[in-house]
Amino acid sequence: MLIEDDPDDVEIITAAIDLLQIDSELVVFRGPNGVREYLTDPLVMPMLVISDVNLPITHGIDIYIDLQAHAGFAAKRIPYVFLSTSPQYSARASEVNECGYFVKPRDYFDYVSIIQRIVLYWRAVA
Going by pLDDT thresholds of 50, 70 and 90, the confidence category of residue 22 is confident
Tell me, what CATH number does 99's domain have?
A: 3.40.50.2300
- Per-residue pLDDT of 24-55, as tens digits, reads 889 999 999 999 999 999 999 999 999 999 99
Which pLDDT score is estimated for 51?
Answer: 97
What is the number of structural domains in the chain?
1
What distances in angstroms separate CA 92 from CA 30, 82, 89, 114, 125, one per listed residue? 22, 11, 5, 21, 25
Read off the pLDDT of each residue in 14-20 and give the average, rounded to a whole number. 95
Whole-prediction pTM: 0.94
Question: What is the extent of the structural domain holding 99?
Answer: 2-125
Which pLDDT score is estimated for 97?
Answer: 85
